[in-house]
Structure 1
Amino acid sequence: MKSVCILAVAAAVTCAVPAQAEQGNVHVRARAILVSPTEKASPVLPTFSTGSVSVTASWAPEVDVTYFVKPHIGVELIAATTKHKVHGEGSLTGVGKVADTWVLPPTLTLQYHFAPEAKVRPYVGVGVNYTHFYSEKASSSLQTAIGSTAVHLKDSFGYDLQAGVDVQLQRNLFLNLDVKYIDIDTTARLTTGTLVNRVKVSLDPIVAGVGIGVRF
């Protein structure tokens, strides 16, 4: 009986001790993210000097992996893709949706974890981002207005800033809250026959996420 009690106490203590982030640990998180552009856009030139565009927000699932180089230092890679609608502004407001596009923004972030041994573990990060735009498509309303149009968005390199927190739920299971600012600049090219219109867009989205993580 005495040995059973000792084992029970030892198990309880083990469960109560926070799981520490150690060198070589890997954290895998699954998040739901909201990608909300804070865009600034130029006029659509040369045809629509008083027209511009705006970009809608989008929800999506996201998976990320963090490898701990040291207990306080992690390197995170995220994988997600989102679809966004581009709407006309100014003289293009009447067109409504101008186009839509898929966005793939793999982002590598170097993180500092303030309290890797605690149950509540805040962190900050800074990193680099590459954004690839694909499956761009002009809307039917735009093509009705100006004719058959092909849309292409230039890929982007930029930086990202991050802040977040992991909250331990069980020894190797935790809740994650995360927010990023990603620098994304692109030029959209709209080709209608021999006419090419261009619009420069700084998307610069805020990416807010909540999810569950597992430590390996």
Structure 2
Amino acid sequence: MIRKVSWKSLVVISFMVLVMIILAVIISVKTKEIKGYQHYISSHLITNISELVTRVSNSDLSLNEAITNRSLSVYEANFLSSNLLEISHEVNALNKLAQDIKNEDPNYLISSAAVEHHMFINKQIIHQPIYELNLLQNDAILELKDKDIEELKLIQKDISSWKEVIYKALGISAAPLPEQYIQEHSRDFITKKDWFNLYTELQNYTS
């Protein structure tokens, strides 16, 4: 004799099947997102960062010559030289992370530690150099604004060019500085808004 299944049991079974289908869809979508993130790390970002290192390295000699000719401080020259080394270290770390991901199973889910490390690299490569260049620029403004405005313009041009190398290598546009920039020595010359826009742009790459 066949036992009848109650309508309550059918509802429960149907609900469980529906939940399983929804979970399967979510897992599938998340896996595709992470695969896309893997592709991003192993291609787009590494290509751009490698280009950044190449361009910065190639311009290092002429930049140091400009520093020497314009009598900028030893601290400033050391910063620009050591910054190249720091970028190289971070690029090596990024390459290792990408290689580790490539060696994993295609369905491998990137751990939160790997993502955090990637964001740390972003901060080191972009945020810290830009921040240090802003400090360097502000120091030059405070020192020269009442003494040699033409010298100050030359220094600012060098620093802006250096930052442009970083922006362009990552495909990020930096808005030109306004003319009153030189006069407003008491403000942040790369504004917090610009800083936030850059950070948002980087976040968009990894979202």
Q: TM-score, length-normalised on structure 2? A: 0.26
Q: TM-score, length-normalised on structure 1? A: 0.26
Richer in helix (by share): 2
Q: State the structure with bigger RCO (CA 8 A, min sep 6), 1 or 2.
A: 2
Structure having the higher Rg: 2
